[in-house]
């Protein structure tokens, strides 16, 4: 049997876990155990389920069972021994943690430069996702190497650059 350490995260994963979604994935795995399949390629790179693997590691799960398929069948995970309350909790947790994750607009933009991401993301969807992130990335580039900026000058609630006045939510 393989272990989660044998798997490699996708460096181009365009889905970002918020702290809340990551902690809820871990909590779900601790409460209900593993119940979702992930998708890996021939080399063990995680194509779908990066957050599930991170949460499983944090929950102390180390084993992974690999089912070979060529995409012409659905792989179902049959969970046994759950109470009705746990079944409802598992279903809610599975869907809610996805809601609480975010898209990495800049990664999607990079991917769109070499791959067709339609119909999942239309140009206007991508523009909306990268709008604020693009502004933050531009400001960060402007300040690259600006070591004279004092981190104390950024308050917890006001993320405004003291040099240029650029502000963003943290």
Average pLDDT in the 24-37 region? 95
Regarding whether 134 and 88 lie in a shared domain, the answer is no
pLDDT per residue over 76-97, tens digit each? 999 999 999 999 999 999 999 9
What's the predicted TM-score (pTM) here? 0.74
> What does the block give as tokens for 80?
């046994």
Regarding whether 72 and 28 lie in a shared domain, the answer is yes
Regarding whether 116 and 55 lie in a shared domain, the answer is no
119 preceded by a cis bond (ω within 30 of 0)? yes
Domain stop point among 80, 103, 126: 103
High-pLDDT (> 90) share of the chain, %: 68
First to last CA, the chain: 42
Helix (H, G, I), strand (E, B) or coil at 8: strand
When pLDDT is cut at 50, 70 and 90, the band that residue 102 belongs to is very high
Average pLDDT in the 1-18 region? 94
Which parts of 100-122 fold into alpha helices (H)? Answer: 105-112
Regarding whether 155 and 71 lie in a shared domain, the answer is no
Regarding whether 64 and 50 lie in a shared domain, the answer is yes
Regarding whether 110 and 83 lie in a shared domain, the answer is no
> Distance between CA 47 and CA 164 in Å, rounded?
40
Provide the domain limits for residue 136: 105-168
When pLDDT is cut at 50, 70 and 90, the band that residue 1 belongs to is confident
Question: Would you say 106 and 47 are in contact if contact means Cβ atoms under 8 Å apart?
Answer: no
pLDDT per residue over 110-161, tens digit each? 999 999 999 999 988 888 988 866 555 555 555 555 444 444 444 444 444 4
Regarding whether 127 and 86 lie in a shared domain, the answer is no
High-pLDDT (> 70) share of the chain, %: 77
Regarding whether 11 and 66 lie in a shared domain, the answer is yes
Domain stop point among 87, 103, 119: 103
Structural domain total, the chain:
2
């Amino acid at each position: 049997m393989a272990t989660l350490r044998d798997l490699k995260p996708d460096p181009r994963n365009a889905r970002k876990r918020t702290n809340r979604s990551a902690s809820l994935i871990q909590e779900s795995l601790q409460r209900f155990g593993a119940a979702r399949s992930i998708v890996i390629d021939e080399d063990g790179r995680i194509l779908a389920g990066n957050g599930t693997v991170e949460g499983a590691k944090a929950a102390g799960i180390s084993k992974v069972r690999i089912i070979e398929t060529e995409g012409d069948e659905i792989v179902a995970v049959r969970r046994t021994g759950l109470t009705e309350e746990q079944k409802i909790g598992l279903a809610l947790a599975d869907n809610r943690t996805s809601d609480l994750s975010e898209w990495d607009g800049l990664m999607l933009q990079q991917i769109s430069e070499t791959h067709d991401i339609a119909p999942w993301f239309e140009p206007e969807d991508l523009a909306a996702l990268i709008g604020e992130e693009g502004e933050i990335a531009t400001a960060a580039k402007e300040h690259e190497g600006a070591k004279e900026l004092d981190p104390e000058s950024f308050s917890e609630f006001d993320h405004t650059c003291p040099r240029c006045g650029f502000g963003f939510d943290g």
